[in-house]
Amino acid sequence: MKILMVNDSLIRGGKERRMLEIIKGLKSRGDHFDIYLIVLIDIVEYEYVYDLPIKFEVLQRKYKRDPSLVFKLKKIISAYQPDIIHSWSTMASVYLSAANLFTKIPLVNAVLADAYANLNLSDKNYLMVKLTTPFSAVLVSNSEAGIRAYHTPLHKSICIYNGVNFNRFENLRPPAEIENEILGGPKNGRVVVAMVAGFDKRKDFESLINVALKMCPSRKDLVFLLIGNGPLLETLKAKVPSELLDRQIIFTGKRSDIESILQIIDIGMLITFYEGISNAIIEYMAMGKPVIASRGGGTGELVSNNINGYLVDQKSEVQIEEKIELLLNNEGMRTSMGRQAYSWVRKKFDIEEKTDEYIDLYNKLIGASHNPSTQNKNQSLPEGRS
């Protein structure tokens, strides 16, 4: 099976990792899948892509909206003759919708990765989804909430959760080494609360920092570890007084060793606005950590309140503090919730299962493309998904 995949870039982000995990999953099945990956911006932070047994090309766009890419992609489609075209980004879907206009090659539009409330045509991503839906054989979301948020046609929408290769969480750096590097010495009974996310308007680091500023002066055993980079980092960092900065409130910047760092944390946080399915939450759970996360979007599909973590209302600093305090004072509860989280995520998000779901989807679409009479609103997607 020949699959053409297109994404904007390979920045170190959740969507990009999700795509690469699926590519590795497909290639692990032997020579059954011939994959041609194209990115439209020359940013490659996942450098192992060059070692994968696939064809990889940067098709640099000259400016934000570059119509010449339609003709370049059309030429590639004509020469490569893929069985499936799989888009992972909204702009890629726009270009591919035009480039693939007069073929019968199914376009998998896998761009539903958030689930904001009250989306409408004034939102750029929502508009792009609406424009490309008629040209898509199927729209893939990584949460059921994403399908509802974007109001995509149910007969051509499917939820496939993020797949995780749990081998990533083995053979990690020694915890003592991480403690010395990040905490400045042994943990010594301190409780580490961590949030891994980009410092941008979609993530509510501000509320978490406000809680940290309130709790830390009276709880010297408490450390907040804020992991990530982004446009709001320096502004938020400036809110932290020098006596707490790098002692109890630690900004690590962008890290490539997240799995190793998660060994030393006790509570995983995601305070945000309407996620799809968060890779950060999955990673916390894969390391057996309880989670505190904001309600909304697909987060409730991951976090079962009072079982593997807690859900809090958006922007509710009172609830965030309350739940941290509960877990801070009860090591047994942290352990119990962490075990529940570990069991849940290992059962629901294994990369092998998600790879099978994509293979089922591809086979269904290829069969339909060879038999046009099946391409109607009664055509069923692979069993067990929306």
Q: Is residue 384 part of a domain?
A: no
Tell me the per-residue pLDDT of 249-293, one tens digit each, with 9 for 90 and over.
Answer: 999 999 989 999 999 999 999 999 878 889 899 999 999 999 999
- What b-and-e string marks burial along 219-244, b requiring 16 or more CB atoms within 10 Å of the CB? beebbbbbbbbbeebeebbeebeeee
Residues 106 and 206 reside in one and the same domain: no
Q: Let me know how long the chain is.
A: 386
Residue 109's alpha-carbon distances to 201, 202, 208, in angstroms, are 25, 23, 34
Whether residue 199 is found in the same domain as residue 340 = yes
Higher pLDDT, 181 or 376: 181
CATH code of the domain in which 209 resides: 3.40.50.2000
Same domain, 198 and 226: yes
Q: Judge contact between 268 and 299, C-beta under 8 A.
A: no
Residue 189 domain boundaries: 170-348
For residue 377, pLDDT over 70 is answered with no
Residue-wise pLDDT tens digits, 33-74: 999 999 999 999 999 999 999 999 999 888 878 999 999 999
My answer on whether 317 and 235 are in the same domain is yes
Which pLDDT tens digit goes with each residue over 204-233?
Answer: 999 999 999 999 999 999 999 999 999 999
* Domain-embedded: residue 380: no
Other C-beta atoms closer than 10 Å to the C-beta of 22 total 25
- Within this chain, do residues 70 and 107 fall inside the same structural domain, yes or no? yes
Query: Does residue 386 fall inside a structural domain?
Result: no
Clarify whether residues 186 and 313 are in a common domain. Answer: yes
pTM (2 decimals)?
0.86
- Which residue matches tokens 């190793």? 260
- Co-location of 92 and 116 in the same domain: yes
Question: Same domain, yes or no, for 190 and 264?
Answer: yes
Question: Do 362 and 310 lie in a common domain?
Answer: no
Q: Are residues 314 and 326 in the same domain?
A: yes
